[in-house]
Chain A
Amino acid sequence: MNLLTLVGALPLVGAALIYLIPTKDSELVKKFALLVTSLVAIAAIFLAVGFDKSITSLQYAQSYSWIPTFNINFALGIDGISLVLILLSTILVPIVILATWNESEGGRWSVKTFYVLILILETMMVGVFAASDLFLFYVFFEAMLIPVYFLIGGYGTGNRSAAAVKFLLYSLFGGLLMLASVIGLYVIAGNQIGATFDLTQLATLEIDNQTENFLFLGFFIAFAIKAPLWPFHTWLPDAAKSATPGTSVLLLGVLDKVGTYGMIRFCLALFPDASKTFTPLIITLSVISIIYGAFMAIGQKDIKGLIAFTSISHFGFITMGIFAMTSQGMSGANLYMVNHGFSTAALFLVAGWMMSRRNSSTISDFGGLQRVTPVMAWSFFIAGMSGLALPGLSSFVSEFLVLVGTYTRYPVAAIIGTLGIVLAALYILIPIQKTLHGPITEGNENMKDLNLREKISIAPVIAIIVVMGFYPKPVLDLINPTSAKVVVDAGYSDPIAEVNK
C-alpha cells in the first residue's frame, strides 16, 4: 500500500476502531486516539523522508477510477507544498489531542464522538492536500465542513451553535460558487480534451478571458472565505471564540490553510491569465486584511478574538506573498502557512490552559502570570513573540521572505504591509504585558502551572518555532522548487535575481 494512502486512511480506520471501545472508558478512548494520530504523524514523517526534493512533479502518485461516467479518479499525489501542509496537519493533531486532554468532556455528546470527529477530520485534511483530482479535492473540501461543524456546535462554548452555523453557511456558500466553476471547467474540458478532472490536464485548457475570469472568481471567493480574507472573514472570530481551543488550532492552523493552498494549487495553476487580471485587487484586499486584522486585534478584549484577528492579519501576508508572483514571495507564503500553523497552535493551546484555569477569556482578568505560573507564561511569551515575527523565531523568516518578494513587484503594498509588523508589536505586546506582567490580578494567586502532560505537548511546538527560526532550510528545501515552479507555470519570472536563502 502506498504510504500516502496509509497516512490518509489510518485515522479513518482508527475512527472505526474507536467504536469497539466501551463509551464509559473515556481515558482509553483518548489514549487510543493519541496513539493512532501519533502513528499517523510518524508515517507522515517517513513520507517526508522518502520524498525526493529535487523533483517538482507529484510524488507518491496513484490513481484509481472512482466514477468512470464522469472520469473521476481517486487520484492522490503530493509535491513539496502539499507535503509540508500534510506534515503540519498530522503533527498538530496528536499535539492537540494531548494538550486538550479534557476538552472533549462536558460537550453535548460523548468523548468517543469527539475523537471520531477529530479522526475523520484528519483523514479529510490529508485528503484535501493530497488530492490531485479536482473533483476529489472538492469532495474533501466540502465534506470536511461537517466534522468541524459538529466539533464547534457540539463541544464549543458560548453561542456555539450560532457560530457553527455561520461557519458552515459561509463555507457552503463559497463551496457552491466553486461547484459552479468546477462544473464549468469540467464541461470546457469535455469540449476541448475530453472530460477530465486531472489537474495537470485541466491546466492546459484554453479558456476565453471572460469565462476564465468568472471561473476564477468562483474558486477565489471560496478560498477567500476559507482563508479568510477581508471582507469574507466575519465568520472566523465567532467560530474561533466558540470553538474549543483544540478545535480552533485545527481550524486556524490547518483548515484555513486549505484556502491559501487552494489559491496556489487551483487559482494560479488553472487560471493564470485571470490571476493576472485580479492580482491588483487581491493584493489590495490582502493589505487591507493585514492592517484591518491588526487594528481589530489591538481592540480585542477577548484572548480568542485576539488570536483570530491576528490570524486574519497573517493570512493577509500569506495571500500577498502568493499573488506577488515571485519565487521568494511564494516560498515565503508557503513557509508562512506552516509557521502560522505552529505559532497559532502554541498561542491557542496556552491561551486555552489559561482560560480553563481562570474560567474566563477576558484579557484583563489575567495579570502577573509570570510570577504565579512561570512555565505557562514563558510558553505564551514565546508563542506571542513568534506571532509578531521576532527575528530568531520561525515567523520572522517567512514574513521577511513575503515582504522581500512583494517589494520587488509591489513596493507600496510591501511598505504598507510592513506597517502590519509594527502593529503586530502592539497587539502582541500589550496583551502580554497585561497578562504576564504587572501585579497579580485577584483570583490568579493560586493558579497552577503547566502539568507534565501540558509541558510535553507544548514542548515540540515551541521547539519547532525556535528551530525553524534559526534553521528553516529543511522546510524551505521542500518548498522552494515547487514554489518556483508555481510562479513559472503561472507565466511569471522573478523581477530580480533570486535571493540566496
Chain B
Amino acid sequence: MLVAPSLGYLVLSPMLIVFAGAVLGVLVEAFMGKTHRAAVQFTISVGVLLISLQQLWRIRDISSTTAAVDSVTIDKAGIFLQATVVLLALIAVFLIADQDNFVAQASAVPGSNEEAIALQQKNQQTEIFPLFLFAVAGMMLFPVATDLITLFVALEVFSLPLYLLAGLSRRKRLLSQEAALKYFLLGAYASAFFLFGAAFLYGYAGTISIRGISAAAGSANDVLLLIGIVFVSVGLLFKISAVPFHSWTPDVYQGAPTPITAFMAACTKVAAFGAILRIFYVGFAEAQTLWRPIITVIAILTMVVGSVVAIAQRDVKRMLAYSSIAHAGFLLSGVVALNKDGLAASLFYLVAYGLTTLAAFGIIGLVRDSTGEVTDLNRWIGLGKKSPLIGSIFAFLLLSFAGIPLTSGFIGKFAIFSAAYQSGNIAIVVAGVLSSAIAAFFYVRVIIMIFFTDPVNDSVSVIIPSVKSKISISIATVSSIVIGIAPSALLTAANNFANFIK
C-alpha cells in the first residue's frame, strides 16, 4: 500500500513558487490577449522570483533532509545556491524582457512569409517567460537534489527549456536553431551517460540516495563504483562545459539569443556546480581516491584548453564561451579541494562570476548594426571612442574575468586557489595561475581593440539600451565592482553558508 509522503512545504516553497509561476505563465500565454501579455508575463516572472527570494530569506536558518522524503536536502549551501540562482535570474529577466531579441513566432520557418507577417503585426509570442521560469525552478532543484533520480529530473527540467530558448533568436535564426539542435543532441547524450552511471551506482550501493552511496562506499567491488562515478560525472561535466565535454559551448553561446546566453552562462554554472559540489562533497567524498586524480586532470585540462583556444577566437561570444570553459576549470579546483574553504570559495566565485557574466553579455547585446548584434571582434574596433562608458564597463568586466586585483574575479581566484593549495593540490594552483596568464592575453587584446585602435568607418554602434537592460547591466556591474573592492560581506556569507548536510 502506498503511504502519501509528507512534504515540507515551507522549505520547498521557494521552488514551488517558481514552478507555480511557470504554470501560471503558460496559462497566461494561452488565454490572454496579445496587447498586455508581455507586461503581465514580465510582472509574473519578476514577482515570483522576488517572492521566492523572500521565502529563501525566511528559511535561511532551517535545514531538512526529509523535505521531500529523502530526495531533497535543504541546507545552508543549498539555500545559498538557490538564492544565487534566483538573484542572477532576477537580473537576467530584465535582459530577457527586451523582446527585440526573440523571434516573434517560433513555429514559423526562418525567412518565410509567416515570419514576416508575425513581425509586421507585432504578434510577438511570450513563451520565453514560462520557459525561463521552468528553467529557473529546475536550476533551484538541481543543487538540492539528493537522490540520483531527482537529480536527473532536475537536470532535464532545466535543460529542456534551455534547449528551446537557445533556438529562439530573432536574427540569424538558422544559426540559433543549429545551436539549439546541437545543444539538445549533445545534452541528451550527456543525460544518457548520467543515467547509465546512476544505474551502476544503484547496482553498487543498492540505493539511489547519495547519502546511501556515501555510506556504501568501500563495501563492495570499487570498479562498479568507479564506473558509476565516471559516467555520472560525464553527465555533470557536460553541463559545466569541462574539457573534453565542452564542444557545444561556443556554438550554443554564439547561436542563442544573447540574453539567453547571459542567463545560461550565469545560472547554469551555479546550478550545475551546486549539484557537482553536493554530489562530490557528500556522495563521493568517501571514494575520493577514485575520482580526485581524474577530476584534477580534467580541471587542469579545462583551464588550459579554455584559455589557449580562446586566443584564437574572433567572435566575442565565442571568446567568452571559451573563457567560461576556463572558469569552469578554476571552479573545478574548488571541487577537488574537498574542504570547507573550497566550498566557500566556490560559492563566492559563482556569485562573482555570474554577475560579471550577466553584465558582459548584457553589453554584447547593445553593440549592433542594422542587421542586429555584431559579435565579430574586428568590428568592435574603436568602440571605446564611439561609446566611452560602455567601452570602459566592458573593459572593467574583462579585467574582472582576468582576475586583476580590485575586481571580484581576483578575490574569487585567490579564494579558490588557496583552498586548492590548502588541500595539497599544488599542481592545480600552478596550472591555474599559468592559464590565468594566458587568459589575460585575450582579455587584454579585446581592450586594445576597444580602446587603442581607431574605429574603421563602418556602421557598428552602441544602441541606447532600454530601461530594463540598463537596470540589469548596471545592477550586475555595480555589484561586481562592490564585490571586488569590499568583498568581506559576501565572503562571510559564503563562509557561513558553506555547509552541506551529510
Our pick among B417, B441, B452 for the contact of A154 (Cβ within 8 Å) is: B452
Stretch at the interface among B32-40, B80-88, B127-135, B443-451: B443-451
A349 interfacial by beta-carbon distance below 8 Å: no
In angstroms, Cα B404 to Cα A329, docked, is 35
Inter-chain contact A183/B436, CB cutoff 8 Å: no
B475 interfacial by beta-carbon distance below 8 Å: no
Inter-chain contact A164/B429, CB cutoff 8 Å: no
Inter-chain contact B452/A67, CB cutoff 8 Å: no
Our pick among B399, B411, B430, B445 for the contact of A180 (Cβ within 8 Å) is: B430
Interface size class on chain B is: 35 or more
B495 interfacial by beta-carbon distance below 8 Å: yes
Once A142-B405, A177-B433, A179-B414 are accepted as A-B contacts, the answer to whether A153 and B441 lie under 8 Å apart by CB is: no
In angstroms, Cα B453 to Cα A183, docked, is 37
Inter-chain contact B414/A183, CB cutoff 8 Å: yes
Stretch at the interface among A166-174, A279-287, A364-372: A166-174
Once A68-B488, A169-B441, A183-B417 are accepted as A-B contacts, the answer to whether A153 and B433 lie under 8 Å apart by CB is: no
Q: Which residues of B contact A150 (CB under 8 A)?
A: 451
Q: Which residues of A contact B492 (CB under 8 A)?
A: 68-69
Stretch at the interface among A35-43, A184-192, A259-267, A425-433: A184-192
In angstroms, Cα B488 to Cα A323, docked, is 39
A473 interfacial by beta-carbon distance below 8 Å: no
Q: Which residues of B contact A168 (CB under 8 A)?
A: 440, 444
Inter-chain contact A67/B491, CB cutoff 8 Å: yes
Our pick among B406, B418, B433, B445 for the contact of A139 (Cβ within 8 Å) is: B406
B422 interfacial by beta-carbon distance below 8 Å: yes
In angstroms, Cα B492 to Cα A68, docked, is 8
B413 to A, closest residue via Cβ: A179
Inter-chain contact B417/A180, CB cutoff 8 Å: yes
Inter-chain contact A165/B448, CB cutoff 8 Å: yes
Inter-chain contact A69/B488, CB cutoff 8 Å: yes
Inter-chain contact A143/B406, CB cutoff 8 Å: yes
Inter-chain contact A179/B440, CB cutoff 8 Å: no
In angstroms, Cα B273 to Cα A381, docked, is 65
Inter-chain contact B418/A187, CB cutoff 8 Å: yes
Inter-chain contact A67/B487, CB cutoff 8 Å: yes
- CB proximity of B488 to chain A, nearest CB, Å: 5
- CB proximity of B164 to chain A, nearest CB, Å: 41
Inter-chain contact A186/B418, CB cutoff 8 Å: yes
In angstroms, Cα B418 to Cα A171, docked, is 22
- CB proximity of A253 to chain B, nearest CB, Å: 23
A160 interfacial by beta-carbon distance below 8 Å: yes
Once A176-B434, A179-B433 are accepted as A-B contacts, the answer to whether A169 and B444 lie under 8 Å apart by CB is: yes
A146 interfacial by beta-carbon distance below 8 Å: yes
B421 interfacial by beta-carbon distance below 8 Å: yes
A138 to B, closest residue via Cβ: B405
Q: Which residues of B contact A70 (CB under 8 A)?
A: 414-415, 418, 491
- CB proximity of A208 to chain B, nearest CB, Å: 13
A182 to B, closest residue via Cβ: B414
Inter-chain contact A108/B451, CB cutoff 8 Å: yes
Q: Which residues of B contact A184 (CB under 8 A)?
A: 421, 426, 429
**Chain A residues numbered 216-262 whose CB sits less than 8 Å from any CB in chain B:** none
A343 interfacial by beta-carbon distance below 8 Å: no
A470 interfacial by beta-carbon distance below 8 Å: no
Chain A binding surface, main DSSP class: helix
**Chain B residues numbered 471-490 whose CB sits less than 8 Å from any CB in chain A:** 487-488
In angstroms, Cα B440 to Cα A146, docked, is 12
A153 to B, closest residue via Cβ: B452
Chain A CB within 10 Å, residue with most, of B404, B451, B452: B452
Inter-chain contact A143/B405, CB cutoff 8 Å: yes
Once A68-B488, A187-B418 are accepted as A-B contacts, the answer to whether A153 and B451 lie under 8 Å apart by CB is: yes
A66 interfacial by beta-carbon distance below 8 Å: yes
Inter-chain contact B430/A153, CB cutoff 8 Å: no
**Chain B residues numbered 398-445 whose CB sits less than 8 Å from any CB in chain A:** 399, 402, 404-406, 410-411, 413-415, 417-418, 421-422, 426, 429-430, 432-434, 436-437, 440-441, 444-445
A161 interfacial by beta-carbon distance below 8 Å: yes
A121-165 interface mask toward B, CB cutoff 8 Å, 1 = contact, 0 = none? 000000000000000001111110110001001100000110011
In angstroms, Cα B429 to Cα A463, docked, is 50
- CB proximity of B469 to chain A, nearest CB, Å: 26
Q: Which residues of A contact B440 (CB under 8 A)?
A: 168-169, 172-173, 176
Inter-chain contact B488/A172, CB cutoff 8 Å: no
Q: Which residues of A contact B495 (CB under 8 A)?
A: 69
Inter-chain contact B406/A183, CB cutoff 8 Å: no
- CB proximity of A495 to chain B, nearest CB, Å: 38
B45-75 interface mask toward A, CB cutoff 8 Å, 1 = contact, 0 = none? 0000000000000000000000000000000
Chain A CB within 10 Å, residue with most, of B399, B415, B433, B440: B433
In angstroms, Cα B441 to Cα A169, docked, is 7
Inter-chain contact A139/B430, CB cutoff 8 Å: no
In angstroms, Cα B496 to Cα A68, docked, is 13
- CB proximity of A162 to chain B, nearest CB, Å: 9
- CB proximity of B406 to chain A, nearest CB, Å: 5
Our pick among A67, A69, A160, A173 for the contact of B437 (Cβ within 8 Å) is: A173
Our pick among A138, A146, A165, A169 for the contact of B399 (Cβ within 8 Å) is: A146
Inter-chain contact B404/A176, CB cutoff 8 Å: no
In angstroms, Cα B410 to Cα A142, docked, is 11
In angstroms, Cα B385 to Cα A154, docked, is 12
- CB proximity of B425 to chain A, nearest CB, Å: 11
- CB proximity of B361 to chain A, nearest CB, Å: 23
Inter-chain contact B444/A165, CB cutoff 8 Å: yes
Our pick among A66, A146, A183, A186 for the contact of B488 (Cβ within 8 Å) is: A66
In angstroms, Cα B492 to Cα A67, docked, is 9
Inter-chain contact A165/B445, CB cutoff 8 Å: yes
- CB proximity of A191 to chain B, nearest CB, Å: 8
A64-97 interface mask toward B, CB cutoff 8 Å, 1 = contact, 0 = none? 0111111000000000000000000000000000
- CB proximity of A161 to chain B, nearest CB, Å: 4
B420 to A, closest residue via Cβ: A183
In angstroms, Cα B385 to Cα A108, docked, is 9
Once A67-B487, A168-B444 are accepted as A-B contacts, the answer to whether A160 and B433 lie under 8 Å apart by CB is: no
- CB proximity of A105 to chain B, nearest CB, Å: 17
- CB proximity of A190 to chain B, nearest CB, Å: 7
Q: Which residues of B contact A160 (CB under 8 A)?
A: 452
Inter-chain contact B448/A69, CB cutoff 8 Å: no
Q: Which residues of A contact B436 (CB under 8 A)?
A: 176
A186 to B, closest residue via Cβ: B418
B452 to A, closest residue via Cβ: A161
Inter-chain contact A67/B488, CB cutoff 8 Å: yes
In angstroms, Cα B495 to Cα A65, docked, is 17
Q: Which residues of A contact B453 (CB under 8 A)?
A: 161
In angstroms, Cα B404 to Cα A168, docked, is 11
- CB proximity of B340 to chain A, nearest CB, Å: 12
Inter-chain contact B448/A67, CB cutoff 8 Å: no
Q: Which residues of A contact B445 (CB under 8 A)?
A: 165
- CB proximity of B493 to chain A, nearest CB, Å: 10
Q: Which residues of B contact A68 (CB under 8 A)?
A: 488, 492
Q: Which residues of B contact A65 (CB under 8 A)?
A: 488
Q: Which residues of A contact B441 (CB under 8 A)?
A: 169
Q: Return 23 A-B CB contacts under 8 Å, by A number.
A: A66-B488, A70-B415, A108-B452, A138-B405, A139-B406, A142-B410, A143-B404, A150-B451, A154-B452, A164-B452, A165-B444, A165-B445, A165-B448, A168-B440, A168-B444, A169-B437, A169-B444, A172-B437, A176-B436, A180-B417, A180-B430, A183-B417, A184-B421
- Sorted nearest first, the 5 A-B pairs with minimum C-beta distance are A161-B452, A69-B491, A139-B405, A176-B433, A142-B405
Could you list 16 further interchain pairs (A-B, Cβ under 8 angstroms) beyond the known A153-B452, A164-B448? Answer: A69-B491, A70-B491, A108-B451, A145-B404, A146-B399, A161-B452, A169-B441, A172-B404, A173-B437, A176-B434, A179-B414, A180-B417, A180-B429, A180-B430, A180-B433, A183-B414
